[in-house]
Amino acid sequence: MGAVSFSLDVELVKALQSALPLKMLVETGTFKGDNLAALAGCFERLWSVELSESLCAQAQQRFAASAHIEVLAGRSEAALVQLHPTLAGQSVLYWLDAHGCDAVGSVAVNTACPLLHELNAIGQLNADSVLLIDDARLFLAPPQAPHDLTLWPGFHQVCVGLQALSSGHELMVINDVIVFYPPGARQALQAFARQHGIDWLAAARYLQENAGLLEQLQSKEAVIQEKEAEIQRLHVQISNNSKNLQRYSALNAMPLLGSLFRASARLSMIIRPRLGFLDQYAPKPVTQNASLPRVALERPPRISVVTPSFQQGAFIERTILSLLTQDYPALEYYVQDGGSSDSTVSVLRKYQAQLSGWSSEKDSGQSQAINRGFAKTSGEIMAWLNSDDVLLPGALHTVAAYFNDHPAIDVVYGNRLMIDEQDQEIGRWIMPGHNSKVLSWADYIPQETLFFRRSIWEKAGGAIDESFRFAMDWDLLVRLRDAGARFAHIPRFLGAFRIHTRQKTSAEIGEIGYREMGRIRQRVLGRIPAHKEIRRALMPFLLKHVLVDLAYRVRMRYRLG
């Protein structure tokens, strides 16, 4: 919600409607529905989207008798896509709100800002539509604590996203609202801004001189106190869990029941799928058979590998060496760093004679780094290896031999080991063979083992989608599949995925990751399915994985091959 008004300013709406035939309102972030109530008489149809199930239910009940108001549940970008047919050709006022709200039950301060995805979902604006973005202060300058800077787009990114909607609209910031409007509304907005705009420097000086007014302005933040009730509820839940644990411990101590309980728990661990789980068992030396025998090659294809890097000085040398020690005769290896300030650059200089090239410059993230790196390569086979992961010995020879022996195959991948910061093995993914249908529901393909032909890369667009920060590999796999790629699984350990406290995967999967995965499922399936539906669709694949993983364990225990 904005710093000036807790809702959309009705006077601003009136100023816009004096110049434009705005009949429809689309709002993201319903909260308690006060905004809808205030504007119900200003529009013929109103839609509002709320992510919180409890807040959505309250708002739906509040407006149940209002036929022209509809409160939608779920993620804002998905709802905006669903509204396309209804809003086509209409004069619409979009109010993108709740990017900075930390009220109980609403979007939390450390949740990734969905704004760029919302703009992408809107698609385009016609000449009579207006888009308003609340919390302008959080985009004009880096948001203050407790907001996570990495989860917020900058003002330049917002402007680029707006220009993609319409090249004929203009931009103005009034108080705490970014206004993207057609030229016909310019005069009305200028008049509104002159009458209702705030001089922030004068306001700051006035507040310093009149500290008592801070209490009035902070009344909006009182909603934070409601979180105390939520914290208390969590304390009760923790207490109940502790009691359940004590009961399980008592049961385990009983001779007969304890044996049954332990046997049941052991069986559950044996048959539980390992795919999707990272830290699986206590650290141990890397599996000996993970090292592949080197395959003799008459015609080694040129393999281009790019390592995108940023602030991974603790691991990047091990990543580089895992490639250089492959001794592959036709390796083209480029490192694209994002301007790291740690020891990364010194490591790159150390190995620059053995690299095809490297660069350290600011970028918009991993996806752009991969694109920049690939643009400087020319190999027939392509791959990227993140700066904290490693290739296992013999991987490149194995991949090259497979491509040579199977010219009809476009994409290959292998099995994965998980390693910790000390290069100790802590888990494994034994893949059950390829199933292209599974890619519509989830991505289990180990990215560090993925290799593909340049021809299918170019056919699928020839670039990583830079709007993805987490699921760019899944997006690419789906595009490769849809471009007609033929996949194959090599039943060998080709790479190791590192688990550590600073990695992006752990930090972002609960923030950006789920949002981007929903975006892919929406595109492929036409909807964002419930978790239970996803689990049902994946069950046959996971059961097959359990069987091949069990077979692997039997072979390893009894040294059967």
Does the structure show a pLDDT above 50 at 104?
Answer: no
Share of the chain above pLDDT 70, in %: 80
Share of the chain above pLDDT 90, in %: 64
Average pLDDT score over residue span 162-171: 94
Average pLDDT score over residue span 62-80: 93
Contact call for residues 332 and 307 (beta carbons, < 8 A): no
Report residue 291's pLDDT band, with 50, 70 and 90 as the boundaries. low
Average pLDDT score over residue span 30-54: 92
CA–CA separation, 125 and 159 (whole Å): 14
Q: What pLDDT, on a 0 to 100 scale, did the predictor assign at position 288?
A: 63
At 74-102, the pLDDT tens digits run 999 999 999 999 999 999 999 998 565 54
Does the structure show a pLDDT above 80 at 107?
Answer: no
CA–CA separation, 439 and 452 (whole Å): 16
Cis peptide before 273 (omega within 30 of 0): no
Q: What pLDDT, on a 0 to 100 scale, did the predictor assign at position 503?
A: 63
Report residue 366's pLDDT band, with 50, 70 and 90 as the boundaries. very high
Q: What pLDDT, on a 0 to 100 scale, did the predictor assign at position 339?
A: 95
CB atoms within 10 A of CB 132: 23
Q: What pLDDT, on a 0 to 100 scale, did the predictor assign at position 209?
A: 64
Q: Which residue has the higher pLDDT, 186 or 219?
A: 186
Q: What pLDDT, on a 0 to 100 scale, did the predictor assign at position 105?
A: 45
Report residue 253's pLDDT band, with 50, 70 and 90 as the boundaries. low
- Name every residue whose Cβ is closer than 8 Å to that of residue 203 and which is 6 or more positions away in sequence: none
Which range, of 373-382, 438-447, 531-540, 546-555, averages the lowest pLDDT?
Answer: 546-555
Task: Catalogue the E-assigned strands of 339-472.
Answer: 357-360, 381-384, 390-391, 411-419, 425-429, 451-453
Average pLDDT score over residue span 483-505: 88
Edge to edge, what strands does the sheet with 45-50 contain?
Answer: 69-73, 45-50, 24-28, 92-96, 130-134, 177-181, 170-174
DSSP annotation of 383: E
Q: What pLDDT, on a 0 to 100 scale, did the predictor assign at position 223?
A: 44
Q: What pLDDT, on a 0 to 100 scale, did the predictor assign at position 198?
A: 79
CA–CA separation, 163 and 223 (whole Å): 35
Please write down the long-range contacts of 189-198, taking CB distance under 8 Å and 24 or more positions apart. Answer: 189/15, 189/16, 191/15, 192/11, 192/12, 192/15, 196/9, 196/11, 196/12, 198/4
Q: Which residue has the higher pLDDT, 86 or 210?
A: 86
Average pLDDT score over residue span 475-485: 97
Does the structure show a pLDDT above 50 at 507?
Answer: no
Does the structure show a pLDDT above 90 at 219?
Answer: no
Which range, of 106-120, 304-318, 326-340, averages the lowest pLDDT?
Answer: 106-120
Does the structure show a pLDDT above 70 at 290?
Answer: no
Contact call for residues 50 and 30 (beta carbons, < 8 A): yes
DSSP annotation of 297: -
Average pLDDT score over residue span 124-145: 88
Mean residue pLDDT across the chain: 85
Q: Which residue has the higher pLDDT, 556 or 457?
A: 457
- Name every residue whose Cβ is closer than 8 Å to that of residue 347 and which is 6 or more positions away in sequence: 313, 316, 317, 320
